A and B are shown apart, each in its own frame.
Chain A
Amino acid sequence: MEKAKAIAVSEITKTFGSLTAVDHVSFDVGQGEFFGFLGPNGAGKTTLIRILTTLLKPTSGNAIVSGCDVLKEPADVRKQIGVVPQAMTSDLDLTGYENMDLYGRFYGIHAGDRKERIRYLLDMVGLSQRANDLVATYSGGMRRRLEIARVLVHRPRLLFLDEPTIGLDPQSKHVVWDFLGRLIEGDSMTIFLTTHYMEEAEILCGRVAIIDSGKIIAIGSPTELKANIPGNDIVSLVVANLAVERIAAIERLSFVHKVIAEENSLRVYVDNGAKNLTLLIDDVRASGGTVLSATVHEQSLEDVFIHYTGKSIREEEAKKVSFLIGAGIPQKFGR
């Protein structure tokens, strides 16, 4: 029996002038799933989340969120979902408690319920002690935790998180991950998360869609996605004096599935990397090349991304205009 759908997206496209931010995207998210949208900055993640949460209208296509049409019933969609936008959106002039209380009232929750729920949530994110301090005095990590707690006040069944750990230090990042992990265990909540951190998607998400330049290029559980990559290990080599035509010869070795060459570094997809590493090095040497360094590692989602796009997420990031998006800075793009 197929699980009920929390999100059903069909053929959504969004253009801003000549730029296509989201390009014919379709996918479903089942009830109770922890679904991740993984891609570099500027891939279209925030645009898509804004369309699903009724903040932007798609150029074409449609989506059903929590059983409601985002175009025809935006008000009903808003009642059922909770959204943590990428930018920090809590009010600096108000205390943590006031921020949560007002938010609860925006959802029409009555005083009694509100008080209890807010105390519980503040406790859960470890902010009880600071509840009556102005948010202006909070650290970035505390603000982020407050915003995640705030969005749970009205007990949404579907939660959207846009890059929830962007700009946080590693410790705060782990606190947020821990908290999100506990959320999905407790309630039968569906979580939709976007991220450009491989690790985040791998730790948290049951299923991941990889998005690049507005298109979904792969979708599945992290394990499934990794299974699609040929070989099971990756050998990264930094070489010198290696003739380009020799690369094709390396690719023909029996244990090698694929080689991606970039200047003087090679990514070689191999079976049993630990055993075959020496054979690979011997082959390079035999061709007159020098091996400057060699590492073997198990495949990760990063490799999945490279496999499908031929480039790493970090390179992608470097190319994007970085002033548009930065940690903690409101993302004005697409307004």
Chain B
Amino acid sequence: MIRLFAVIERDLKKFQRNPVVLAMSLLMPLIYLVILGNSFQGKLTDLPVAVVDQDAGPHAKRVMENLRAIEAGPKTFSLMPMKDMQEAIAGVKEGRYKAAVVIPVDFSKKVTLQARPEVGLFLDNPDSISSEMIRNLLNAALLSIRSGYVPIRERADEVHLRDINLFPKVDYYQSLVPGVVIMAIFLGVLTTGAFNLVMDRFLGIDESYLLTPLSKSHIVSGLMISGLLITTAIAAVILVVSMLITGIPLSRGVVQIVPLFIVVVLTTLCLLGLMFVILGRAAHPRIVGVLSGFLNVILFFPSGAVYPIASFPGWLKTFAKINPEAYAVHALKSLLFKNASMASISGDILFLAFFTVVTMTLSILTFKRTL
């Protein structure tokens, strides 16, 4: 035990002497929350759309009113009324507008005559997300002008949808919290555990402890435990701070902290183990750099933190089944937003524990005790 503690203490001391890394590990996930929250916003707003009304007839006015209603209400787009159609199209081509809507000269006449009236829509189609959104909204706006008047009273035979939220309402920022916590864990794991092994090897310092009676498991588990301590501490701070920022309540009180903590610890161990298996024999920090960017993308995006796993294609769903971050996100979401009990996340816990045992065993087995 004296040996294991020495390995742990060495690593913790070295981390402590490098406060910049600690500050960055704490700050960066929170910046993620702010940047991700604002760049990925759940709904689209303020898309610039040029409108050219060449008709100016009564029906064209109706279309314009509907468009303005959208501009004022959901604020999906902001309208730029223009005179010249060519200029509007050029604006889309140059990227100043996301779309140009052209109401042709004979529009109102054709509506009255029911002679297939058309409205032109020029789209910045490579930006598929905003194009799709504008097309759908415009279709809706055009549909409603077909009926000559707006019904004042609701019709009795109309079917209504009444949606009932099973869980307390979760806003977009709050929904990002599990992902941000996973990011924090990932960052912590990157700068501890196997990374220190690679650095020691790169600096040639590993020789000094490989020459001592330390066993494989002393070295591997010592580095893992210090990595676990540091990473869990960082993740816990991030979890608490981001819950406070976004206003997620502890619905079950302090008791809820226990399962949250268990998920954080197990996720950390999984990722530490994974890094150890992959980096166990690496000798250059550049490998860690390349790998970390890659791993972050392939583990984080298919984790369900930003997009529902159910919408993934089959092969990606299969990958999500072995992705520890997917289980971690599911467990955190259940605990934070669905008031879940330990029992309902036992599947996640089991997988994370299993993954930990497998990677830890592999790490110790594949660790080379010689140079």
Contact = CB atoms under 8 A, between A and B. Distances in A.
Contacts of A102: 6, 9-10
B207 A103 contact: no
Contact of B207 (A79, A85, A93, A108): A85
Listed residue (B211, B213, B215) with the most chain A CB atoms within 10 angstroms of its CB: B211
B345 interface: no
B209 A106 contact: yes
B86 interface: no
Interface band, chain B:
20 to 34
B203 interface: yes
A78 interface: yes
Given A75-B213, A78-B212, A103-B212, A110 B207 contact: no
Interface stretch (A23-31, A52-60, A118-126): A52-60
B13 A93 contact: yes
B202 to A, nearest CB: 8
Contacts of B9: 102
Interface stretch (A199-207, A247-255, A267-275, A327-335): A327-335
Nearest to B205: A89
A105 B205 contact: no
B2 A55 contact: no
B283 interface: yes
A108 B211 contact: no
Q: Is the interface of A mostly helix, strand, loop or mixed?
A: loop
B371 A56 contact: yes
Contact of B3 (A81, A88, A90, A106): A106
Given A91-B10, A105-B2, A331-B204, A55 B211 contact: yes
Nearest to B206: A89
B287 to A, nearest CB: 15
A74 B211 CA distance: 10
Interface in B354-370: 369-370
Interface in A87-113: 87-91, 93-94, 98, 102-103, 105-108, 110
Contact of B370 (A55, A108, A134, A332): A55
Contacts of B369: 74
A50 interface: yes
Contacts of A87: 204, 207
A229 interface: no
B160 interface: no
Contact of A107 (B203, B205, B210, B213): B213
Nearest to B218: A106
A149 interface: no
B18 interface: yes
Contacts of B208: 85, 89-90, 103, 147
B370 A57 contact: yes
Contacts of B215: 75
A331 B10 CA distance: 24
B90 interface: no
A107 B209 CA distance: 10
Nearest to A98: B13
A285 to B, nearest CB: 56
Interface string A43-57: 000000010011111
A21 interface: no
Interface in B163-212: 203-205, 207-212
A55 B18 contact: no
A7 interface: no
Nearest to A104: B6
A108 B204 contact: no
A53 B204 contact: no
A83 interface: yes
A88 B208 CA distance: 9
B208 to A, nearest CB: 4
A321 B58 CA distance: 88
Interface in A296-333: 330-332
Given A53-B211, A55-B371, A105 B204 contact: no
A53 B212 CA distance: 10
Contacts of A330: 203-204, 207
Given A98-B13, A102-B10, A105-B6, A83 B213 contact: no
Listed residue (A74, A81, A91, A110) with the most chain B CB atoms within 10 angstroms of its CB: A91
Given A102-B6, A105-B2, A106-B6, A93 B14 contact: yes
B215 to A, nearest CB: 7
A41 B127 CA distance: 62
B211 A91 contact: no
Contacts of B370: 54-57
Contacts of B207: 55, 85, 87, 89, 330
A150 to B, nearest CB: 8
A106 B5 CA distance: 9
Interface of A: 50, 53-57, 74-75, 78-79, 81, 83, 85, 87-91, 93-94, 98, 102-103, 105-108, 110, 134, 147, 330-332, 334-335
Given A105-B6, A330-B204, 8 more contacts: A55-B207, A88-B204, A89-B205, A94-B10, A102-B9, A105-B3, A105-B5, A108-B3
- For the complex of A and B, the 3 pairs showing the least CB-CB separation, nearest first, are A330-B204, A105-B6, A89-B208
30 contacts: A50-B371, A55-B210, A56-B370, A57-B370, A74-B369, A78-B212, A78-B213, A81-B211, A83-B211, A88-B204, A89-B204, A89-B205, A89-B208, A91-B14, A91-B205, A93-B17, A94-B13, A94-B14, A102-B10, A105-B2, A105-B3, A105-B6, A106-B3, A106-B6, A106-B209, A106-B213, A107-B213, A108-B3, A330-B204, A335-B283
